[in-house]
Amino acid sequence: PIKPETAAETKRSKVEIIKEHSNFIRYPLNEELLTDAPNVNEAATQIIKFHGSYQQYNRDERGQRSYSFMLRTKNPSGKVPTQLYLTMDDLADEFGIGTLRLTTRTFQLHGVLKKDLKTVISSIIKNMGSTLGACGDLNRNVLAPAAPFARKDYCFAQKTAEDIAALLSPQSGFYYDMWVDGEKIMSAEPPEVVKARNDNSHGTNFPDSPEPIYGTQFLPRKFKVAVTVPTDNSVDILTNDIGLVLVSDAQGEPQGFNIYVGGGMGRTHRVEATFPRLAEPLGYVPIEDILYAVKAIVVTQRENGRRDDRKYSRMKYLISSWGIEKFRNVVEQYYGKKFEPFHELPEWEFKSYLGWHEQGDGGLFCGFHVDNGRIGGKMKQTLREVIEKYNLSVRLTPNQNIILCDIRGAWKRPITIALAQAGLLHPRYVDPLNLTAMACPAFPLCPLAITEAERGIPVILKRVRAVFEKVGLKFNESVVIRITGCPNGCARPYMAELGLVGDGPNSYQIWLGGTPNQTSLARSFMDKVKIQDLEKVFEPLFYYWKRIRQSKESFGDFTTRMGFEKLREWVDKWEGPEVAPARYNLKLFADK
């Protein structure tokens, strides 16, 4: 598509100028890493994100800032080879803060000092891992269902995720120059990926650039892709820039993909023009065209996404501004074909893959719930011992949990016992509220946090459970609760039935109306609720949910059906649950 020439030079954000002068994501990071300072300068903090790292400091400490770096790995489909897991475990002890953090897309390693960055990143690269593009304005880690089912559809979805990750991986070598002195440690790419990347028959590429898809400017902002199979919404498919759903025929043979576009969670408090958004249907493509279709969507965002104000740079704002018809029309010009109509899909289900399952190839896998994805202490030590002893591969789930794969039947009992003693329990022994809850790391290391999330959620969940008991809800009843320390939405709180989003010191914005299968967007219900006042909101809402819900009606659906006006009225007038009058046995009194 020919872009109209504009007379005035377009305003660009500071980060766009940093990228332009970076020599393909090298400068000034390459110089800053050589200084004795514990931190890097402002331009280098932007550039290091593309290498998979954020600069942080401990916000609990007063006075002088103690800087460190958080590293993220890139693991398409959540796959972590045994060797890489053991390496990450070692690095956390030797160079980190002694814990590993499973997040909604990947691993995070906190507390790495600047002087140790090269050692840590080169170790990850040499042990079958990478941090390249785990942050920054490019395609992030590609999700697919983490379950290691030996089924055609699951395997094909996971392979597609890996192919898209390869297709959209930077090509200019800046990462390997910086961390392993230019030694490219990579496995051979599938020929179809190389062919799709190099294809320029519809004007998608920069022909003579070391970055054929990204050019010097990369994308306007982060870009997230997920792939799944029908019914399996373990990946929060509608929260991604691109969501792909594999469509198979009656014999289970993969045929093509339904494509959703324009999802995204981030927003800014008190800026109504920013908002979370669900992805919407774009169309269907046959399997042989999927890489070309994805590339066309990425290029449409590259060429048209806003680069003047990073608050509005995600693809969801482009689609909201243009409308889906115009967006589809432009993508089709880069794709070179028309999209076919969307195929009908069955209802979505949230699948956690916790507990024991058969893989379908004779092996077993077991998913373990990890509170907030934080692996440390005895749990970390025992996990390592089990993974090492049985040579197990690992999968990370988009719900901050861990799956151990390829387990023989004879190993089931000793593994169950060992991990249970370390706090990794079968899901039936975990509070149902905890099983679906998530929080972002927030304090003390995230520079964006306004209030607590990971450190605050254990107590908040106990308080919710106490309210459940007070109003008569059973132990096996649950709601999806997600907490973030700021409005960027890393733990996807805007999809929760009850979302708490930090909006001040010890205060939260409350969001209601998501659904258990992650298909509806929550809405903002109340602002500035102090942490000590949460029960004043929770009690009336859970009380009336218990009293007047329809059969099997989820809390999210209930809050949507009742409407926020009614819910606010209940909260405002709440004086506590009605106490049933005591029943006396009158016979006892009559006998006296």
- Same domain, yes or no: 384 and 513: no
What's 278's domain CATH number?
A: 3.30.413.10
- Same domain, yes or no: 284 and 190: yes
Please check the confidence at residue 583 and state whether its pLDDT lies above 60.
no
The pLDDT value recorded for residue 9 is 64
Are residues 109 and 70 in contact, defined by beta-carbon separation less than 8 angstroms? yes
Give residue for tokens 């981030």.
266
d(Cα 163, Cα 98) in Å, to the nearest integer? Answer: 33
Q: Which residues contact 8 (CB under 8 A, 6 or more apart)?
A: none
| 402 belongs to a structural domain | yes
Locate all alpha helices (DSSP H) within 344-431, ordered by sequence.
377-390, 412-421
| 157 belongs to a structural domain | yes
The pLDDT value recorded for residue 523 is 98
The pLDDT value recorded for residue 64 is 85
The pLDDT value recorded for residue 198 is 98
SS3 357: strand
| 111 belongs to a structural domain | no
- Same domain, yes or no: 160 and 253: yes
DSSP-derived secondary structure for 498-565? EEEEEEETTEEEEEE---TTS-S--EEEEEEEEGGGHHHHHHHHHHHHHHHPPTT--HHHHHHHH-HH
Among 370, 398, 430, the domain boundary falls at 430
Picking from 521, 526, 519, 480, the residue whose alpha carbon sits closest to that of residue 501 is 526
- Same domain, yes or no: 316 and 378: no
Please check the confidence at residue 586 and state whether its pLDDT lies above 80.
no
- Same domain, yes or no: 312 and 377: no
Q: Dmax over Cα atoms in the chain, in whole Å?
A: 103
Q: Residue 201 burial by CB count (10 A; 0-12/13-18/19+): exposed, middle or buried?
A: exposed
The mean pLDDT value for 390-417 works out to: 98
The pLDDT value recorded for residue 185 is 73
- Same domain, yes or no: 444 and 401: no
Please check the confidence at residue 349 and state whether its pLDDT lies above 70.
yes
d(Cα 235, Cα 519) in Å, to the nearest integer? Answer: 11
* Number of domain units in the chain: 3
The pLDDT value recorded for residue 587 is 45
Please check the confidence at residue 355 and state whether its pLDDT lies above 80.
yes
Is the pTM for the entire model greater than 0.85?
A: yes
The mean pLDDT value for 100-120 works out to: 97
The mean pLDDT value for 130-143 works out to: 98
| 395 belongs to a structural domain | yes
The pLDDT value recorded for residue 215 is 98
Taking only the tens place, the pLDDT of each residue in 371-380 is 999 999 999 9
Picking from 245, 223, 251, the residue whose alpha carbon sits closest to that of residue 232 is 245
Strand partners, 286: 256
Q: What is the average pLDDT score of the chain? A: 95
d(Cα 211, Cα 201) in Å, to the nearest integer? Answer: 17
Q: To 5 degrees, how large is the angle CA 305–CA 310–CA 316?
A: 45
Taking only the tens place, the pLDDT of each residue in 231-272 is 999 999 999 999 999 999 999 999 999 999 999 999 999 999
- Same domain, yes or no: 414 and 441: no
The pLDDT value recorded for residue 589 is 39
Are residues 531 and 464 in contact, defined by beta-carbon separation less than 8 angstroms? no
| Tokens found for residue 524 | 């903002």
The pLDDT value recorded for residue 590 is 41
- Same domain, yes or no: 326 and 199: yes
The pLDDT value recorded for residue 187 is 72
| 314 belongs to a structural domain | yes
Strand partners, 247: 256
Over 233-276, what HEC string results?
CCCCHHHCCEEEEEEECCCCCEEEEEEEECCECCCCCCCCCCCC
- Same domain, yes or no: 236 and 168: yes
d(Cα 256, Cα 244) in Å, to the nearest integer? Answer: 10
The mean pLDDT value for 426-448 works out to: 96
Residue 320 — φ and ψ, nearest 5°? -65, -40
Q: Which residues contact 237 (CB under 8 A, 6 or more apart)?
A: 226, 228, 243, 245, 260, 263, 279, 348, 518
Please check the confidence at residue 3 and state whether its pLDDT lies above 80.
no
Please check the confidence at residue 520 and state whether its pLDDT lies above 70.
yes
Over 10-78, what HEC string results?
CCCCHHHHHHHCCCCCCCCHHHHCCCCCCCCCHHHHHHHHHCCEEEEECCCCCCCCCEEEEEECCCHHH
What share of the chain has pLDDT > 90, as a percent?
94
What single letter denotes the amino acid at residue 173?
Answer: G
| 324 belongs to a structural domain | yes
| Tokens found for residue 193 | 């990926």
The pLDDT value recorded for residue 504 is 96
Strand partners, 365: 357
- Same domain, yes or no: 219 and 293: yes
Taking only the tens place, the pLDDT of each residue in 51-107 is 999 999 999 998 889 999 999 999 999 999 999 999 999 999 999 999 999 999 999
The mean pLDDT value for 534-547 works out to: 98
Residue 400 domain boundaries: 355-430
d(Cα 372, Cα 99) in Å, to the nearest integer? Answer: 12
CA quadruple 444, 446, 448, 449: dihedral, nearest 10: -40
Please check the confidence at residue 6 and state whether its pLDDT lies above 50.
no
| Tokens found for residue 147 | 């379950």
Among 307, 335, 363, the domain boundary falls at 335
What's 426's domain CATH number?
A: 3.90.480.10
Please check the confidence at residue 415 and state whether its pLDDT lies above 60.
yes
The mean pLDDT value for 573-580 works out to: 83
The pLDDT value recorded for residue 253 is 97
At residue 550 the predicted structure's pLDDT band, cuts being 50, 70 and 90, is very high
The pLDDT value recorded for residue 582 is 53
At residue 165 the predicted structure's pLDDT band, cuts being 50, 70 and 90, is very high
| 481 belongs to a structural domain | yes
Please check the confidence at residue 4 and state whether its pLDDT lies above 70.
no
- Same domain, yes or no: 569 and 446: yes
Other residues' Cβ atoms within 10 Å of the Cβ of residue 585: 8
- Same domain, yes or no: 386 and 451: no
Please check the confidence at residue 579 and state whether its pLDDT lies above 60.
yes
Write the DSSP symbol of residue 143.
Answer: B
Write the DSSP symbol of residue 486.
Answer: S
DSSP-derived secondary structure for 430-447? S-HHHHH-EE---TTT-T
Taking only the tens place, the pLDDT of each residue in 14-49 is 999 999 999 999 999 999 999 999 999 999 999 999
Other residues' Cβ atoms within 10 Å of the Cβ of residue 539: 20
| 274 belongs to a structural domain | yes
What share of the chain has pLDDT > 70, as a percent?
96
